[in-house]
Amino acid sequence: MYYGLTNSLGRNFMGSRGFNPLSLSPAIWLDASDASTLYDATVGGSLVAANGAIARWEDKSGNARHATQSTGVSQPLRKTSIQNGKDVVRLDGANDFFTIPAEITPTAVTIFIVQDTTGDSMFLSPQADNRQIRIGQGGGNVLSTYDGAANPQSTALTVARGTCSLVLYKKSGSTVSFYENGAAKGTGTNNDIKIGTLFAGAGGGGDFINGDISELLIYPTALADADREAVETYLNSKWAIY
């Protein structure tokens, strides 16, 4: 019988294969399947019921980078038993987004996002400028990065939309590598990255995610292939993505 590792709040951190995302020291970890991390107030409050609005999505990394949204009309919803029987966070594509208390500005980074989105959507950007990682930019099913002047820095890469997928962005130096559902999709360039606004355009403007976010893991390093594959295996096993 498998027994998962829990923290002091009793949260289960380990997937069916025994991998613990904390073992690689993430900068931020948001997990929609963990109902104990979803609150109706930015400072805590009560846990969100099914179909309720989320004001605070707690960071499980231990770094207290909790994703928050104080404006009611911009608060995503908790939807239950959606992906592999687990809950997701649903954004409306109009104005839903979160911010984190301090921008993440790593020189190297590996980002995993389990998502099922459609439409023209941007998933990560800073709070004050146009450094962006987009999926579905320009109305097409592509993944690309943009610099501080909103100039594209990577070749448009085809990715799945309208079905759950695991999209990965790995930056080492100025080179970025894209993966989807465990397969390499190509490379591009990006000289720097800032993350402060989640699932929306810079400062909450521009494009917004339309669809479901299941999990987000950001590691402040370019993970070795073996570690990247361990995270992918954990996420795929948990969410039944591919």
Domain spans, the chain: 24-239
Taking the C-alpha atoms of residue 159 and residue 1, their distance in angstroms, rounded to an integer, is 37
What 3-state class would DSSP assign to 240? Answer: coil
Average pLDDT, the chain: 85
Comparing 75 with 3, the larger pLDDT belongs to 75
pLDDT of residue 149: 72
211 vs 205: CA distance, rounded Å: 17
Window from 29-33, 154-158, 208-212 with minimum mean pLDDT: 154-158
Contact 59, 9 (CB under 8 A): no
Q: Looking at the structure, give the CATH architecture of the domain made up of residues 24-239.
A: Sandwich (2.60)
pLDDT over 60 (residue 3): no
Report the C-alpha gap between 149 and 7 in whole angstroms. Answer: 42
Q: Which residue has the higher pLDDT, 4 or 238?
A: 238
